[in-house]
Structure 1
Amino acid sequence: MAKTRISELAAIISTKTEIIEQYLRSHNLASPSFDVDYVDPQLPPDIAVCKVTISEATEELNSLLAGPSAFWTTLDTTFLPTIHAIYRFKLASSFPIGGEASFAFIASAVDIPEPDVQRIIRLAITHRIFREPRRGIVTHTAISKAIATIPLLQSFLGLVTEEIWPASTRIVDAIEKWPNSEEPNETGYNLATNQYETYFNGMKKDPDRGKRFADVMNFTHAGGKFERAGLIAHYDWACMSEGLVVELGGSQGMMCFDLARYSPKMKCISQDLPDVVAGVEVPEDLKGRVEVVAHDFFTEQPVKNADAYLFRWIFHDWSDKYSIRILRKLIPALKHGARIVTGKVCLPEPGSISYSIERRMRATDMVMKACLNGRERDVDQWAQLFTKSDSRFNFKGVIRIPGSRWSVIEVIWEDVSV
């Protein structure tokens, strides 16, 4: 009798779990736990991939066993309100790590009614956030400890529950109200907040929001370290090792710093808005080869004849209408053979990768729609974007960075008349 899919998945889970267990034992590392003192170790790539495989197999097994009529059990509408309450009322910080507290004590510390504290925390416990070792007494788990002690995680929870989640609840209304809109102020976020500035313009007027957003970018991309390293390792920079690279929207220049150190004869210019680059200091070892300057990419590019123009985390913020404007403002600066390099998500062919990874990528696409009217793009959509901008943009293709959701999109400017 042929092995069933549920048996195959169980075997995968068992085999990969044993690999992880053997590694942990051989390196004298603790097995995963929700105990408050547990620290998640940094695993090598070949072991870390086992965690991903187990997670994907477990999810599929759960779905198969639940059956097609039980998909609604995954629609937990109470989880985000619970996380929102933990964030807003600072519940995880209301009593010491390693200590315990009564519901009454926590209610007094955060100044909300005890019955509400009780219902929030007891629901959180079912998600393994907090414990109730004795009736009415609360202690921490590794998860609640992380919420209490990692500021960047707190910022992430705040952004998700106070901006992305409300925007997502109104995305359907926005699609209905503004069909086919490409405007950044006609979004679910605008309807949810009842204000009609763009997401980023509104953020400029609220320093706390701006700081929280910057914190979240650092948290979700590990400060950009891994994404920058992948972009450097998986693109052929050697062909311009003594040339000039300009990064648009480069924030405070970290990518250019990394790239210049990787290629010691390369020169780099990082551009971003004046308030972003104000006060940025170029490291001593890079002075003379790297500049960080003010520039708005919706205005004409002032640096002419660079060998490459680099974009990271830019185009998903904008609909095609505005992305085309950005690219056309670049054209007067381009020399024949100049490269336009984009480090970004490239949506996969449906079903070509695991559902869990594809879901994360497509969920990001929905977030871009809800907050910005931006979008993630697949290979064909990237090609169309450049073609619609100008026929002289020659789309060369996409290089997927192994073990990552990120890709490198390469285009070469071909204009023999220049």
Structure 2
Amino acid sequence: MAQTRIAELATVISNQTAFVDQYLQAHGISSPSFDAEYNEMTTPPKEITASKNAILEATEELNSLIAGPVGYLTSLNTTIVPVFHAIYRWNLASSFPIDGEASFGDIAAKVGVPENDIKRIIRMAKTHRIFREPRDGIVAHTSVSKVIATVPLLNSWLGLITDEIFPAFTRMVDAIERWPNSQEPNETGYNLFTNQFDSYFGGMKNDTHREKRFADVMTFFHAGGKWERAGLIEFYDWNSATEGVVVELGGSQGAMCVDLARHFPKMKCISQDLPDVVADVEVPKDLTDRVEILAHDFFTPQPVRDADVYLFRWIFHDWSDKYSVLILQNLIPALKHGARIVIGEVCLPGPKGNVSHVLERRMRGSDFTMKSCLNGSERSAKEWEQLFASSDSRFKFKGVATVPGSRYSVIEATWEGDSPA
């Protein structure tokens, strides 16, 4: 008799978990635990990444199958939202020492919230493995609550999620009905939730708390950015550009250009961003002859002509097609024949899917965030191709290559028109 799907999944989980466990033991790495003493690896070793992903995928599918359709739907847990909100708003994870304990009353007094409410919130958080209750009425940390308390940038992420993104999700459908087919950045679920009709980023300029929190979250997510940058440098075939000129648009503080220049000693790199972003940026002294920081708005004509590569990382998903086309069209006066446009972003899978279910959910969750807050979008390969075609027929779409085991893809096109006069 053929093996059933649930038995297949159990075998995958057993085999892959055994491999990970053996690897961790052989290399003296602590086994995953919810104990507060456990310190998570920032980046899992490459040798176990595939196994880790296989375990996550198989356990998620097995859990869903065993629950059944009704059980699966009714177990989708929305209680994490108020739990996150309370932890962030009242700084619960930092309300008692990392290696200590506190009563519900102690925590309530510290944060100024009624004890009964603290009790029910923390006991719900326990079901999500945030905090533990070693004795009746006494609270201690788990590895999950500890990381919230010890990584301030993660706490900022909780705030962004609960104060801005989740509320924007609740009005996304309303925004779609109110502004059908809108591509405007100020016609979103976030605008309906806040009842303010500047764009998401426009409104942030007048709110220093939001601006700092968003910057903290970007710092948190790009803490692994060095790996991402290294992956792009090694994964993409830079060929002739290694002795040419690369321009990164929206390059923030210029970290990518610095990394490129260090890796390719004959490459010149120009990092562009808005004036207030680049005002105080200093280039490392040993690279001042090959790395330049330039103030530029990518919605205006590109001032650097004849570069070999124009690079964008995590830019286009912030913008609808209407504005993404403008970004590409503003390159055209500067493009020489054969110039490459290289984009590092998510590429959504097709209908049959070419990524794991868990990874696709993350990617489409990002797409929902872009839609709800910015009217931007993540795009599929077909949509990337169409974006270039809509911008100018002289762009030749070259394709998409996905970094193995990652949601990060490299999208490439070349300019087949004439060089600028």
Q: Same fold (TM over 0.5)?
A: yes
More off after superposition, 259-268 vs 65-74 = 65-74
Number of the residue aligned with 2:136: 135
Task: State the Cα deviation string for residues 196-218 of structure 1 (Å, max 9, x = none).
Answer: 00001111112222222122122
Give, in whole Å, the separation in 1 of the partners of 2:363 and 2:231. Answer: 17
Number of the residue aligned with 1:340: 341
**What amino acid sits opposite 2:296 in the alignment?**
H
Q: Residue 207 in 1 paired to residue 208 in 2?
A: yes
Q: Residue 404 in 1 paired to residue 406 in 2?
A: yes
Q: Could you tell me whether the CA contact under 8 Å between 1:217 and 1:223 is conserved in 2?
A: no
Secondary structure at the aligned position of 1:405 is classed as coil
Superposed displacement of residue 329, structure 1: 1.0
Q: Could you tell me whether the CA contact under 8 Å between 2:251 and 2:271 is conserved in 1?
A: yes
Residue ranges of structure 2 left out of the alignment (5+ in a row): none
Q: Could you tell me whether the CA contact under 8 Å between 2:335 and 2:419 is conserved in 1?
A: no
Give, in whole Å, the separation in 1 of the partners of 2:347 and 2:288. Answer: 34
Number of the residue aligned with 1:24: 24
Superposed displacement of residue 222, structure 1: 2.4
Q: Could you tell me whether the CA contact under 8 Å between 2:101 and 2:139 is conserved in 1?
A: yes
Number of the residue aligned with 1:194: 195
Superposed displacement of residue 17, structure 1: 1.0
Number of the residue aligned with 1:379: 381
Q: Tell me: CA distance 1:313–1:43, structure 2 relative to 1, closer, same or farther (3 Å).
A: closer
**What amino acid sits opposite 1:365 in the alignment?**
D
**What amino acid sits opposite 2:148 in the alignment?**
I
**What amino acid sits opposite 1:5 in the alignment?**
R
Secondary structure at the aligned position of 1:3 is classed as coil
Give, in whole Å, the separation in 1 of the partners of 2:103 and 2:419. Answer: 76
Matches within 5 A, 1:160-179: 160-179=161-180
Give, in whole Å, the separation in 1 of the partners of 2:213 and 2:139. Answer: 29
**Number of aligned residues:** 418
Number of the residue aligned with 1:13: 13
Secondary structure at the aligned position of 2:377 is classed as coil
Give, in whole Å, the separation in 1 of the partners of 2:96 and 2:243. Answer: 56
Matches within 5 A, 1:6-405: 6-41=6-41, 42-350=43-351, 351-405=353-407
More off after superposition, 231-240 vs 113-122 = 231-240
Q: Could you tell me whether the CA contact under 8 Å between 1:63 and 1:71 is conserved in 2?
A: yes
Q: Could you tell me whether the CA contact under 8 Å between 2:95 and 2:107 is conserved in 1?
A: yes
**What amino acid sits opposite 2:83 in the alignment?**
T
Q: Could you tell me whether the CA contact under 8 Å between 2:98 and 2:141 is conserved in 1?
A: yes
Task: State the Cα deviation string for residues 334-356 of structure 1 (Å, max 9, x = none).
Answer: 11111111111111113322111
Give, in whole Å, the separation in 1 of the partners of 2:46 and 2:29. Answer: 16
**What amino acid sits opposite 1:25 in the alignment?**
Q
Q: Could you tell me whether the CA contact under 8 Å between 1:234 and 1:399 is conserved in 2?
A: no
Task: State the Cα deviation string for residues 307-339 of structure 1 (Å, max 9, x = none).
Answer: 111111110000000001111111111111111
Superposed displacement of residue 223, structure 1: 4.7
Secondary structure at the aligned position of 2:81 is classed as helix
**What amino acid sits opposite 2:310 in the alignment?**
Y
Q: After the TM superposition, list the runs of 4 or more consecutive aligned residues in structure 1 that deviate by more than 4 angstroms.
A: none
Q: Tell me: CA distance 1:12–1:417, structure 2 relative to 1, closer, same or farther (3 Å).
A: closer
Task: State the Cα deviation string for residues 274-300 of structure 1 (Å, max 9, x = none).
Answer: 111110000112111001111001111
Q: Could you tell me whether the CA contact under 8 Å between 1:56 and 1:356 is conserved in 2?
A: yes
Superposed displacement of residue 26, structure 1: 1.7
Task: State the Cα deviation string for residues 347-371 of structure 1 (Å, max 9, x = none).
Answer: 1113322111111111111110000
Give, in whole Å, the separation in 1 of the partners of 2:345 and 2:148. Answer: 29
Superposed displacement of residue 177, structure 1: 0.5
Give, in whole Å, the separation in 2 of the partners of 1:222 and 1:357. Answer: 20
**What amino acid sits opposite 1:380 in the alignment?**
K
**What amino acid sits opposite 1:212 in the alignment?**
R
**RMSD across aligned positions (CA):** 1.2
Secondary structure at the aligned position of 2:243 is classed as coil
**What amino acid sits opposite 1:19 in the alignment?**
F
**What amino acid sits opposite 2:407 in the alignment?**
R
Number of the residue aligned with 2:417: 415
Give, in whole Å, the separation in 2 of the partners of 1:413 and 1:128. Answer: 52
Give, in whole Å, the separation in 1 of the partners of 2:58 and 2:74. Answer: 18
**What amino acid sits opposite 1:69 in the alignment?**
V
Superposed displacement of residue 417, structure 1: 6.5
Give, in whole Å, the separation in 2 of the partners of 1:191 and 1:391. Answer: 37
**What amino acid sits opposite 1:33 in the alignment?**
S
Task: State the Cα deviation string for residues 226-259 of structure 1 (Å, max 9, x = none).
Answer: 2211211111112111111111100110110111
Q: Could you tell me whether the CA contact under 8 Å between 2:342 and 2:412 is conserved in 1?
A: yes
Identity %: 67
Give, in whole Å, the separation in 1 of the partners of 2:31 and 2:167. Answer: 37
Give, in whole Å, the separation in 1 of the partners of 2:246 and 2:109. Answer: 56
Give, in whole Å, the separation in 2 of the partners of 1:149 and 1:46. Answer: 28
More off after superposition, 62-71 vs 195-204 = 62-71
Secondary structure at the aligned position of 1:67 is classed as helix
**What amino acid sits opposite 1:18 in the alignment?**
A
Superposed displacement of residue 219, structure 1: 1.6
Give, in whole Å, the separation in 2 of the partners of 1:234 and 1:26. Answer: 30
Q: Could you tell me whether the CA contact under 8 Å between 1:310 and 1:341 is conserved in 2?
A: yes
Superposed displacement of residue 48, structure 1: 2.5
Superposed displacement of residue 50, structure 1: 1.3
Q: Tell me: CA distance 1:357–1:417, structure 2 relative to 1, closer, same or farther (3 Å).
A: closer
Residue ranges of structure 1 left out of the alignment (5+ in a row): none
Superposed displacement of residue 9, structure 1: 0.6
